[in-house]
Amino acid sequence: MARPSYSDTVIAIYQAAIGPDLWAGTLDLVADYLGVDSGMVLHLSPSQGGNFIVHRRLREDLNQLFLQRYTDNAYAFAFGRAPVGKALATEALIEKKVLHRSAFYADILAPQGIAEIVAVRHPDLSRNGVGGILFNISKPRADDAEHAATRLNRLVSHLFRAIDFTLLTSRLSAGQRELDHLLASMAGAVILLDGHGGILQMTPPAEALLGERDGLLIINGSRLTLGARTRDDSSRLTSSIKQALAVARGEPQWLEGTLQIKRQSGRRALLVQVTPLPAPAFSPWGAIDGGARVMVQIVDPQASIDAQAERLRLLVGLTAAETRVAALLGSGLGLAETSSALGVSLNTVKTHARQVFAKAGVRSSAALTRLVASIPVGPPRLDKRS
């Protein structure tokens, strides 16, 4: 069977993003593109209650045995300390002779013929545990593990963005996945663009932000489009949107990361992330389509979220550093993006995030987003009685 093309693989990844039931098949397609045997998305939590494996080619009986008895193994320990976002073969994480002497290898890997693993750690999937995307290689293909890692690195930005989108929408019921409901459920400024880059729909916070014309603005030409005030930022934004549209059409394309858009007011730069939305491959996911081909998420570090995070600080006793992390996580940024925005290490952000979750009584960034969004902005209203 012919190996899938890069463009076919990327388009399948984004179709899985908006149709989570497609992930198992998509991992098979990615595995075939890499020239390996099987793939999985994995999350291991210390409490075990939140453990899961998304796959299709692995033995289900051994997956259950793994989740029951073997989550605490030498490979998982090493993988949990691997750098985020870099595809690594087995030898880069743990000595093979150490792995091969383990009960985990004897009872889980060897019976499935797994000789090598190429894996990339994902920040949100590894929050408070171990998690990421892993691909298994049999002995006849083991010599190509490094080549598979190189090919996987080309897909990491796409896989991460698609998984982030799946995690974002996973809390919505099927009825909420319609375009209007999806936008209404997303905190912050979100803009949907059509296949030509024209503005299709936006949330009220996005409309208000663009109305300020401070950094970003609406350009009124043959269609309404998104632009930036400075020439450099406008060029980068246009390029990022074109990249996303190309991916949505199924063309091979690299995606730029989070953009920082300067503001003429001197306020902190806006953070912009552009995500492709390919046409749904299966009819059950047609509701999310509506012609949208690109989603633009904008985070204003100094918007009302700051006031809401400040109120959360007063309510639960956050430190100043924890409040800054809460504001960005509450805006919808992931751990890595928060680390970049604040100019601190990922480990520092994780430490603050754990403290924020504990003090606020939540267990995830999604729950924190909902909590922060629910906090009223402005001074408390007094009930005056005559």
Q: Which residue carries 């060897």 as its tokens?
A: 110
The helix-helix angle for 365-374 and 304-316 (nearest 10°) equals 100
CATH number of 176-299: 3.30.450
Q: Which residues pair with 190 in a beta bridge?
A: 297
Distances, alpha carbon 201 to alpha carbons 102, 110, 240, 245, 320, in Å: 54, 51, 19, 16, 35
Q: Which two tokens stand for residue 99?
A: 């792995």
| Angle made by CA atoms 63, 65, 71, in degrees to the nearest 5 | 80
Sign of the Cα torsion 124, 130, 136, 142 reads: positive
> Which pLDDT belongs to residue 323?
92
Which strands form 130-138's sheet, in the order they lie side by side?
52-54, 38-44, 130-138, 114-121, 88-89
**pLDDT (tens digit per residue) in 225-242:** 999 999 999 999 999 999
Task: Give the HSE-up count for residue 159: Cα atoms under 13 Å, Cβ half-sphere.
Answer: 31
The pair of three-digit structure tokens given for residue 61, joined into one six-digit string: 């009986």
- Judge whether 6-169 and 176-299 match in fold: yes
Average pLDDT, integer, range 91-116: 94
Domain residue ranges of the chain, discontinuous segments joined by +: 6-169, 176-299, 304-374
For tokens 């504990």, what's the residue?
A: 358
pLDDT tens-place string over residues 344-382: 999 999 999 999 999 999 988 888 888 887 776 544 333
Please tell me the pTM assigned to this model: 0.57
Q: For all residues of the chain together, what is the average pLDDT?
A: 84
Among the residue ranges 37-46, 59-68, 114-123, 250-259, the one predicted with the least confidence is: 250-259
Q: What is the pLDDT of residues 296-333, one digit of tens each?
A: 988 776 566 777 888 899 889 999 999 999 988 887 77
- CATH class entry, domain 6-169: alpha beta
CATH 1.10.10.10 fits 304-374, yes or no: yes
Three-state secondary structure readout of 46-96: CCCCCCEEECCCCCHHHHHHHHHHHCCCHHHHHHCCCCECCCEEHHHCCCH
Residue 32: predicted pLDDT: 96
